[in-house]
Structure 1
Amino acid sequence: MHTGHFTDTAARDHFRALYDDAVARLGPTSGRDITTTHGVVRVLTCDGPPGIPFVLVPGAGSPGVSWAPNVPALRGRATVHLVDPLGGPGASTQDVPLRSVGDQVRWLRGVLDALGPCHLVGTSMGGRLAFEVARRSPAGIRTLTLLDPALTFTRIPAGTVAASLGALPGAPTWLRRRFVARLGGGADVADDPVARLIEAGLSGYASAVPLPPLPTARDVAAVGVRSLVLLGGRSTMLDAGRARARAALLPRGTVEVWPDATHALPGEFPERVAERLSSLVAAS
């Protein structure tokens, strides 16, 4: 199995230009490289008030800076760490192939060990990974928040699986943009800098991340961390009703369906998400 890589120099340079511009728009930010079992992980830190920080894990094909819409509201409450996942586009460098979800847990566990206690937040496939770390190795995770997590409480709908052909490098631009728009409820990619960055990653980066299995009911019930699950009622990545029923098995979980939200829930409702995170932290 190969490691993730840009398909060519032009694709890398195009992505990095968009990435650097997005980082510059975050405001005061510092970068840190953390050596893990499978490569060097870049973490961007947006300083906030003293307290336990938030660690944000983005979805597949997205770097940490894709959380940009959420940073202003969250950094007013605590420091925010943005993780560039291994195997995907960003400033991290994958050195060792990721062969299983266990390998993914190991590299993220190494990042969390370096950062210290945190409130862990994941969206889409980043939510799936955050769930797995909280289940297998929860040390230091004070709370867990999953924002429309993919392949965590329900399978991905067949229509979205078929549309994901547009996420493959070399796919026609129109097909790729249709896929990105599908996830965001039809928003125009050209009007959204975060969507443009994600599109550049999809078009120019060959990902090398294994697809995890769907957790069992027993797996869900084994997560002992206080948890918050927010699901998009208009999500194309999951069936919100079925996901809510399965997520209700979390022993210390709160589950909400936001009827007007799509799979892009974090960016659609950043202030509301921050308020719910604050309430979770206060109750922990």
Structure 2
Amino acid sequence: MSSTELPAAIASAVPVVGAAAEGEQMRSAGLAGLTLAVRSRPPAVQGLPPALYVHGLGGSSQNWSSLMALLDGVVDSEALDLPGFGDSPPPDDGDFSITGHARAVIRYLDAQDRGPVHLFGNSMGGAVTTRVAALRPDLVRTLTLVSPALPELRVQRDAVPTALLAVPGVTRAFRRLSREWTPEQRVRGVMGLCYGDPSRVTPEAFRAAVQELERRLALPYFWDAMTRSARGIVDAYTLGGQHGLWRQAERVLAPTLLVYGGRDRLVAYRMAGKAARAFRDSRLLTLPDAGHVAMMEYPHTVARAVREFLADTDESGGMGS
């Protein structure tokens, strides 16, 4: 691994967060062997259809704050911190695989009786929600995927170091190498990796990311959750047959909105066409200037596309009851 790849790998392990939106609430949902932190917004009106948002590797429910605020009046929004991320402790069984994370989402929806929901996923969360939609179509009205982490034959160069986190001993080397890095340096690195234009990050969001990183680095399980989840992504990429993520994408019945960024350094822009063909009832939004987290970088554009998507799907009768 080259010296330029090591800093990128460390940067990819930094939490990506934005500034929390006003009016958000946090609560804990206790399930057997699992506790999930849930971020929500009071619904603008009663009777709105429920929505659930799932973040990516190193992220948290706060990744969705801007989009959730812009969808007030359209959906009743909740976002999860996956086990071991954000404010959610690790699962009792230590399962950080894509299937394990998908199981956590399914168990939450079953326990809360919120399904079917408008389900959103970014990056690793896109792989998780694809699996949820394939396995439990009864829980999903529509699916919105922002730069989903689906297998690529030719992986983006900047995504390779993230996969290397799954290699035994590599995380320990990263920690030694980055011991002298300040939180500000780490956050600048990940913003450069995840945003098409890092200058779009507001000072408030940057400060929030630094504070969140400092908090998470103090958690005894932070690196373990990152490493095991990275290994889970790599493992999911190698699965074939009916358990393969592309095969499961073909099984998704829910109408699907795909969002890809032209400057995404982690999920290849060229995969947009393959995804549009794999999901049977899909529409595609491409944002040439966006990076890996379009819902954070261009929230108004993504929100407008989601509003149109949900309205069109509702009119066509595709969402069901």
Residue 58 of structure 1 contacts residue 125 of structure 1 at CA under 8 Å; is this kept in 2? yes
Deviations 1:18-50 (A, max 9, x none): x9x95xx53333333223354111112102233
1:79 equivalent to 2:79? Answer no
Partner of residue 26, structure 1: 21
* Partner Cα distance (2:283, 2:153) in 1: 17
Deviations 1:126-179 (A, max 9, x none): 111111111122222100000111235666413332377799656334456323
Q: Indicate which of 225, 228, 232 corresponds to 2:261.
A: 232
* Partner Cα distance (2:196, 2:87) in 1: 25
1:187 equivalent to 2:170? Answer no
Partner of residue 69, structure 1: 66
* Partner Cα distance (1:176, 1:169) in 2: 15
Residue 61 of structure 1 contacts residue 202 of structure 1 at CA under 8 Å; is this kept in 2? no
Q: Could you say if the C-alpha distance between residues 153 and 53 of structure 1 is closer, same or farther in structure 2, counting changes exceeding 3 Å? A: farther
Deviations 1:180-230 (A, max 9, x none): 421113526783345435644674422242423234543321111111111
Partner of residue 10, structure 1: none
* Partner Cα distance (2:308, 2:292) in 1: 22
Residue 62 of structure 1 contacts residue 201 of structure 1 at CA under 8 Å; is this kept in 2? no
Measured on the aligned residues, the alpha-carbon RMSD in Å equals: 3.0
The amino acid of 2:156's aligned partner reads: P
* Partner Cα distance (1:147, 1:155) in 2: 19
Residue 150 of structure 1 contacts residue 156 of structure 1 at CA under 8 Å; is this kept in 2? no
The amino acid of 1:268's aligned partner reads: E
Residue 147 of structure 1 contacts residue 231 of structure 1 at CA under 8 Å; is this kept in 2? yes
Deviations 1:66-88 (A, max 9, x none): 22222321123222101111022
Q: Which has the larger radius of gyration?
A: 2
Residue 84 of structure 1 contacts residue 90 of structure 1 at CA under 8 Å; is this kept in 2? yes
Question: Tell me, what secondary structure is at the counterpart of 1:248?
Answer: helix
Partner of residue 127, structure 2: 128
Matched ranges for 1:68-217 at <5 A:
68-98=65-95, 100-113=97-110, 114-117=112-115, 118-151=117-150, 156-162=155-161, 171=178, 172-173=181-182, 174=185, 177-185=188-196, 187=198, 191=203, 192-193=205-206, 194-196=208-210, 199-200=213-214, 203-204=217-218, 205-206=222-223, 207=225, 208-209=228-229, 210-212=231-233, 213-214=236-237, 215=244, 217=246
Q: Indicate which of 243, 251, 260 corresponds to 2:272.
A: 243
1:56 equivalent to 2:45? Answer no
Residue 153 of structure 1 contacts residue 247 of structure 1 at CA under 8 Å; is this kept in 2? no
Deviates more, 1:212-221 or 1:119-128: 212-221
Q: Could you say if the C-alpha distance between residues 175 and 83 of structure 1 is closer, same or farther in structure 2, counting changes exceeding 3 Å? A: closer
Partner of residue 9, structure 1: none
TM, length-normalised to structure 2: 0.71
* Partner Cα distance (2:268, 2:81) in 1: 27
Q: Could you say if the C-alpha distance between residues 253 and 236 of structure 1 is closer, same or farther in structure 2, counting changes exceeding 3 Å? A: same
* Partner Cα distance (1:155, 1:89) in 2: 31
* Partner Cα distance (2:209, 2:105) in 1: 24
The amino acid of 2:141's aligned partner reads: R
* Partner Cα distance (1:240, 1:198) in 2: 29
Structure 2 gaps, min length 5 = 1-14, 166-170, 238-243
Equivalent pairs counted in the alignment come to: 264
